[in-house]
Structure 1
Amino acid sequence: MQRFLIERQIEGAANLTPAQLAEIAKTSNAAVASLGVPYTWVNSYVAGDKIYCVHETEDVETIREHARRGGFPADLVTVVSNEFGPHTAEAA
C-alpha cells in the first residue's frame, strides 16, 4: 500500500467540536468499511480551515472514492514519497 497526504479545505475546521470530529470519524470509518479494499486511515490534523489526513491504500482513485462516499472534499491528494524525523539523524 502507498501512503497519501490529503488536504481538505473545510471552512471553520479549527472550530469543530470534539463531537463534530467524532461524527466525521464515524462517517470516515463507514466509508472505509464500504470500500472493500485494503485501506487504512492513519491520522488527521486540523489546522485553520484545513484538515490534513494521512491514509494508506493502493491508488489515488480509492482515496477519491472514500472522499465521495464520506462526503468530504479531497482538494489535494499527494503520494508520500518518504518520511523522516529526528530519529533520521541517527542513520547518518
Structure 2
Amino acid sequence: MPRFLIERDMPGAHALTDTQLAEIARTSNATAASLGVPYRWVTSYAAGDKVFCVHEADDESTIREHSRRAGFPVTRVTTVASEFGPGTA
C-alpha cells in the first residue's frame, strides 16, 4: 500500500494534552475502520502549530476521505517516494 505524509495546520498542536491526543486517536481509528477499504495509520507528530501524519491507503482520495469524515484539516498530502534512516548507511 502506498504511504502518505499528511500535513495538518492545527494551531496549538504542540500543546495538545494526552487526553486530547487520545480522543484524536479514537476518532482516527474509528474513521479508518468505517472506510471499508484497506487503511493504516502509522504514526503522527504534533509540532508547533501542525500535525504531521503518516498513513497508508490505496490512494490520496482515501486519505482525504478519512480526514473529511474525521473532521481533521488537510493542508497537504504527499506520497512518500522512499523511506530511509541511519540504518540505510
Q: TM-score range by the shorter chain?
A: over 0.9
| Matches of 1:37 and 1:43, distance apart in 2 | 19
TM-score (norm 2): 0.98
Instruction: Name the count of aligned residue pairs.
Output: 89
Q: Which sections of structure 1, spanning at least 5 residues, go unmatched?
A: none
Give 1 or 2 for the bigger CA radius of gyration: 1
2:86 match:
86
| Matches of 1:22 and 1:35, distance apart in 2 | 20
Matched, 1:55 2:45: no
SS of residue matched to 1:55: strand
Structure 1 position 74, deviation (Å):
1.2
SS of residue matched to 2:28: helix
2:67 match:
67
Matched, 1:33 2:33: yes
**Cα deviations across residues 26-79 of structure 1 (Å, max 9, x unaligned)?**
000111011000000000001000000000000000000000000001110000
Q: Which sections of structure 2, spanning at least 5 residues, go unmatched?
A: none
TM-score (norm 1): 0.95
1:44 match:
44
| Matches of 2:33 and 2:22, distance apart in 1 | 16
SS of residue matched to 2:38: coil
Structure 1 runs (4+) deviating above 3 angstroms are none
